[in-house]
Amino acid sequence: MKIRAYAKVNLALDVVRKREDGYHDLEMIMAPITLHDLIYINVIDEGIEIESNSKIVPTDQRNIMYKVAKLMQERYGLQKGVKIFVYKHIPTQAGLAGGSADGAAVIKAMNKLFHLNLSYEEMAALGKEIGADIPFCIYEKTAFVEGVGEKLHFIEEPFEAYLLLVKPKKGVSTKKAFTTLDLFKVIHQDCRAMKKGIEEKDYQTVIDNLQNTLELPSIKMVPQIKEIKKEMKELGFDGALMSGSGSCVFGITRDQEILNKGYEFFRKRYFFVRKSKILNKEENLWYDFLFCWKDEGICNKLSYSSLIMSYILLECRRRGVWQWKLTQ
């Protein structure tokens, strides 16, 4: 079977404190985006085999996909193995949760392939044992996040915006970003203000509260982060922020012309440049439906017009429109 592993951005990130166990308590607004890796996974007689189009992706026990597959084999006594091919679109050391997204996708795929019937809560708890961002990637829903990333408070209101993702060639080690962060010098902002802005559909409040306390140490390691942010604002983007620990920066706008202008400006200057947008729940269901439709042979049961009508109904729900007047 095949499954998409969606990346995320941090619309806000505040490192609250360092804990006694060495980890940090965080407050974040995390949102899934349309950028994704494509994973093919099939059952084999034994073992765990991983292949990728990317030469820098480890294919042994260092890979998060390997770790979650091994955990599921042992936890549920699976007698068969899995073969995984990941087509990477999400860059590494970018702050976009590419590894965690892949791990979450493998959990969901194996849950289906082996008929485990795990709930989302059970899959999230399983993923938490491997990586802090995996629970979020299991749900793929915009959320206010606390703790090390395991406490999820979902924001049901859809937030719509175009994103331009720009990453310098040099990445940032998450561990190094945290170890070089001086908590006594950072300015802590209230992520709840952004949460309220999204819930009240107040776009300007969201823009005003874009913030990331990890930017300062990451900019010291990759100065281009600061330059990209400055250039994005000069091009007309409403805001620009580094995602996670970096080094990817996203510009945010609701103007598609600005998005396209930014893409043309950056695409020949930086290592990774992609257009994307926030992935909302209904869109996610639609993408997954189309994906499964092609993969599982549902096309034999549904007509093209049925698919179009399904999309229209999803759009009605998303926009709050329930009555349509049809005219000839």
Q: Which of 8, 67, 167, 277 is catalytic?
A: 8
Provide the terminal-to-terminal Cα distance of the chain, rounded to the nearest Å.
Answer: 42
pLDDT of 327 reads 33
**Residue whose pair of structure tokens reads 């592993």 in the numeric block:** 5
Q: How far apart are CA 221 and CA 95, in angstroms?
A: 14
Cβ neighbour number for residue 41 with a 10 Å cutoff: 23
Which amino acid appears at position 37 of this protein?
D
Mean pLDDT on 94-117:
97
Q: How far apart are CA 66 and CA 87, in angstroms?
A: 15
Please name the helix (run of DSSP H) or strand (run of DSSP E) that holds residue 195, with its range, or none: helix 191-199
Class of domain 2-154: alpha beta
Range with lowest mean pLDDT among 51-65, 210-224, 244-258, 284-298: 284-298
Q: 307 pLDDT band (50/70/90 cuts)?
A: low
Q: 309 pLDDT band (50/70/90 cuts)?
A: low
Nearby residues of 300 by Cβ (< 8 Å), 6 or more positions away: none
DSSP 279: -
Q: 323 pLDDT band (50/70/90 cuts)?
A: very low
Q: 22 pLDDT band (50/70/90 cuts)?
A: confident
Q: How far apart are CA 94 and CA 34, in angstroms?
A: 16
- Domain 162-277 of CATH type 1.10.10.10: no
Q: Which of 37, 102, 133, 238 is catalytic?
A: 133
Q: What is the pTM of this model?
A: 0.86
Which amino acid appears at position 261 of this protein?
K
pLDDT of 321 reads 44
Query: For the chain, what is the mean pLDDT?
Result: 89
pLDDT of 305 reads 57
Mean pLDDT on 81-106:
97
- Highest mean pLDDT, choosing among 175-184, 250-259, 293-302: 250-259
Q: At residue 273, does pLDDT exceed 60?
A: yes
- 246-264 pLDDT, tens per residue? 899 999 999 999 999 999 9
Q: At residue 6, does pLDDT exceed 70?
A: yes
Torsion sign (Cα): 64, 68, 73, 78 = negative
**Residue 133 bears catalytic tag:** yes
Range with lowest mean pLDDT among 116-120, 226-230, 303-307: 303-307
pLDDT of 49 reads 98
Range with lowest mean pLDDT among 7-21, 107-121, 264-278, 296-310: 296-310
* Domain residue ranges of the chain, discontinuous segments joined by +: 2-154, 162-277, 281-319
